[in-house]
Amino acid sequence: MTTEARRKWSTFAWTALSYIVVFLLVFPVLWMALTGFKTEIAAISVPPILFFQPTLDQFLLAIQGGFGAYLFNSVVAALVSTAIALVLGIPAAYAMVFHMPTKSSNDMLFFVLSTRFMPFAAILVPIYVIVTRLNLLDNLFVLIVIYTAMNLPLIIWMARSYFLELPKEVLEGAWLDGCTTFQTIVRIVVPMAAPGLTAAALLAIIFAWNDFFFAVTLTYTNSPTLPIMVAAFTSNEGLFLAKVSALATLIILVPVAIGIYAQRYLVQGLTGGALK
C-alpha cells in the first residue's frame, strides 16, 4: 500500500469513526425527543414502535403542569449565579496572572480547583445544616450562592488560561496610558478574552441548569428548578416515560440554543483576532 493510499484510508477511518461517535451521542437525544411525541402506551411498547401518530399531548401536559414557574427559577438561578461568578472570577484570574508571582499563582489556582474536586455528597450535609439554621430552605437565593461557588473555580481556571495568552504589550500600553485596573479589565482584557469567557460562562450556565443534587435537597415548593419537575413525573404507578421525554426535550432546548449562539460567537471571536 502506497503512502497516498494509507493517507486516504486513514482519513476515511477517522471520518467513519467520527460519524459513529456522533451517532452514539446524538441518537439517545433524538430517541428521547421522538418518545415525547408518543402516547404513554406507545412509549413503553416492546418492541419499540417506530411508526406512530405523533401527538403534542405530552408537551401540553408538561407546560400546563407549572412549567413556567420551574423555568423561571432555573433561568434566574443559572444566569444570576453565572454573572456573579464572572464578576468575581475575572478579577481573581487577572490578579493571578499579572499581579502574583508564578509559584504563588499556581498554588492559589490549585487551592481554588481543589474545592471543585470535592464530592458534592461530602458537603451536602454541612450545607443543609447551615441553610436550615439560617432559615433559608426552599429559597432561590441559596441555589444562586451554591451555583456561584460551584462554578467560580471553573471561571477562574478558564479565564486565567486565556489571560496567560494575552499579549502583554497591549496591557503595558494601557497601563502607560493611565488606565486603572478596572478600566484595563473592562476595556482591554475582557474583549480580548471574550471567546474563552463565553465558553466558561456557557459551561457554568449548563452546570447550574442541569443541577439536581442540590435543588432536590434544598428546595420544595417555592423555588424548585426544572430537573425537580422531571422527577415529579415518577409516582407509585411507575415512570410516565412519554411525559418525562417531552419535558426533558423542552428542558434541553435552552442549552442547545445557547450552544448554537455561543458557537457563532466563539468562531467570530477566534477568527477576528485580538490585535489589529
Domain coordinates of the chain in residue numbers? Answer: 3-35, 66-272
- Give pLDDT, residue 8: 77
User: Among residues 64, 60, 44, which one has the least CA distance to residue 52?
Assistant: 44
CATH classification number, 66-272, choose in 1.10.3720.10, 3.10.20.600, 2.30.33.40, 3.40.50.620: 1.10.3720.10
pLDDT-derived band at 86 (thresholds 50, 70, 90) equals very high
User: Among residues 217, 32, 18, which one has the least CA distance to residue 126?
Assistant: 217
- Give pLDDT, residue 271: 45
- Give pLDDT, residue 87: 95
What is the average per-residue pLDDT within 147-167? Answer: 88
Query: Does pLDDT of 141 surpass 90?
Result: yes
Q: How far apart are CA 3 and CA 138, in angstroms?
A: 65
Query: Does pLDDT of 45 surpass 50?
Result: yes
Q: How far apart are CA 225 and CA 67, in angstroms?
A: 9
For the segment 173-209, what is each residue's pLDDT rounded down to a tens digit? 878 888 888 888 888 888 888 888 888 888 899 899 9
- Give pLDDT, residue 276: 40
Query: Does pLDDT of 172 surpass 80?
Result: no
- Give pLDDT, residue 267: 57
pLDDT-derived band at 272 (thresholds 50, 70, 90) equals very low
Tell me the pLDDT of the chain averaged across its residues. Answer: 84
- Give pLDDT, residue 18: 92
Query: Does pLDDT of 57 surpass 90?
Result: no
Query: Does pLDDT of 274 surpass 70?
Result: no
- Give pLDDT, residue 84: 97
From start to end of the chain, where are the E strands? 234-235, 238-239
- Give pLDDT, residue 20: 94
Q: CA angle, 90 as apex, 89 and 92 as ends, to 5°?
A: 65
- Give pLDDT, residue 76: 95
pLDDT-derived band at 72 (thresholds 50, 70, 90) equals very high
- Give pLDDT, residue 238: 65
- Give pLDDT, residue 236: 61
List of residues 6+ apart from 185 with CB closer than 8 A: 90, 91, 94
For the segment 211-227, what is each residue's pLDDT rounded down to a tens digit? 988 998 898 888 888 88
What is the average per-residue pLDDT within 41-48? Answer: 81
Residue 75 or 62, more confident? 75
